[in-house]
Amino acid sequence: MFLDHLPSKILEAKNQAEQLLTLQEKPILDIAEYNHAKVLAAFQEERVSTYHLQGTTGYGLGDSGRETLDRVMARILGTEAALVRGQFVSGTHAIATALFGVLRPGDHFISVTGDPYDTLEEVIGIRGTGQGSLKDFGVSYDSVPLSEEGTIQHSLVSQGIKPNTKMLILQRSRGYAWRNSLPMEQIAAFVAYVREHFPHLIIFVDNCYGELVEKCEPGDVGADLMAGSLIKNLGGSLAPTGGYIAGRQELVEKAACRLTAPGIGGEVGATLSWQLQFFQGLFFSPLTVSEAIRGAIFSAAFWQALGFEVNPLPDALRTDLIQAVKLNSREAMIAFCQGFQKGSPVDSYVLPIPSGMPGYEDEVIMAGGTFIQGATSEFSADGPMRDPFIAYQQGGVSMNYIKFGNLLAAQKLWEQGLLK
């Protein structure tokens, strides 16, 4: 077994990381306990039954399981309504559906956390032409960068607001950026600022990777709309596909009309064989999220002990599931992901290589042999092939799974002479 043959340098880093993790665990477990109680209460208050776990076919008319799941999700996220659907193919699809559902030609919106994640660039119209982007439909866009300290710049946002500005969007996670994710405290302060000075504006949150990491959600602090993926946090590693939109009732309904058609909205949509996995994954999600956070702390401490820059630092406040490791060369990035892949239960023998991906401008390398294709809730590492070559780890269904992936990535770097 590989654990018996690790170089002493890697074993020393492993031991240091394990010791540091023990000092960080209590607040993580406290949050997990709180969120488990919240999720359990939502299931009980909506009287979830075995009847709701059965799917429907065709139009899915009168699907009480689908309607109950929407209400459970809304309770968990602190919103009036939610739209949980397997018809969403990704988090990007759910976010795009919300934006197209609410924004109209002539509207203007601002990203207050800098330009968003790569796959939204073509949705907005920053890249690409003629594909039906928001820009193609006459919706204009600006962005305001975060401060050097990683905070939303309220005054600059105010200066950017125009008479036709309708929405302000926030990306809760770091995405593919070397920055801190947004803590709920900062999101709450920004919502309060906007409500005081610009009460007519809609506040939208890209909630991917942030759900259940803290004790409250954007809906709890007054955000109007949010969206995310079910093969990330809230799928609990069991959801086979899907995403969600949650927020104010009228805004969720507008998004539903974009997903289906005006006049149909959220009243249809077969749930097939997904419902059991959606309900069960959502119930397990506080556990899988807490395991992923524990693993991220181990990863940060481990790679820091090996001499690499990491973000966030091992003792930093965790506000999303992503752990970034700066590898500084193309060769190290490839070796990292190829070693990481060896720790997977599926396709462990595959060697990831950089390639083009739909929605990305740069080549991307992705590692993670998951049971659900691309499920970052299970465990993955990926990143764009651009300087300074940063690998972004996400998720992890168990602490040991995360640990093994990192140990094998380090071993691959060692074998190629790429460890300092």
Residue range(s) defining the domain that contains residue 333: 6-34+284-414
Where b means 16+ CB within 10 Å and e means fewer, 256-288 reads bbbbbeeeebbbbbbbeebbbbbbebbbbbbbb
Last residue of a domain, one of 265, 280, 295: 280
Same domain, 309 and 381: yes
Confidence (pLDDT) at 299 = 98
**Does some domain include residue 420?**
no
Confidence (pLDDT) at 1 = 64
**Does some domain include residue 170?**
yes
Same domain, 289 and 349: yes
Same domain, 327 and 181: no
Confidence (pLDDT) at 128 = 82
Confidence (pLDDT) at 361 = 81
SS3 content of the chain, % helix, strand, coil (to 5): 45, 15, 45
Confidence (pLDDT) at 118 = 85
CA 233, 234, 240, 243 dihedral sign is negative
My answer on whether omega of the bond before 388 falls inside 30° of 0, hence cis, is: yes
**Does some domain include residue 419?**
no
**Does some domain include residue 1?**
no
Same domain, 245 and 394: no
**Domain total in the chain:** 2
Same domain, 244 and 302: no
**Does some domain include residue 255?**
yes
**Does some domain include residue 341?**
yes
Tokens of 270: 């077969």
- E strand or H helix that includes residue 189: helix 184-197
Using one digit for the tens of pLDDT, what is the confidence trace for 103-125? 999 999 999 999 998 889 999 99
Using one digit for the tens of pLDDT, what is the confidence trace for 203-261? 999 999 999 999 999 999 999 999 999 999 999 999 999 999 999 999 999 999 999 99
Same domain, 103 and 130: yes
Distances, alpha carbon 129 to alpha carbons 32, 98, 121, 123, in Å: 44, 21, 11, 10
Q: Residue 165 forms beta bridges with which residues?
A: 108
Same domain, 105 and 220: yes
Instruction: Judge whether 417 and 395 are in contact, CB under 8 Å.
Output: no
Same domain, 329 and 396: yes
**Does some domain include residue 131?**
yes
Last residue of a domain, one of 242, 264, 280: 280
Last residue of a domain, one of 262, 280, 298: 280
Same domain, 367 and 312: yes
Confidence (pLDDT) at 360 = 79
Same domain, 333 and 212: no
Q: What CATH number is given to the structural domain containing 254?
A: 3.40.640.10
Same domain, 275 and 307: no
Same domain, 23 and 165: no
Low-confidence ranges of the chain (pLDDT < 50): none
Confidence (pLDDT) at 259 = 98
> Residue 49 and residue 59: Cα distance in Å, rounded?
22
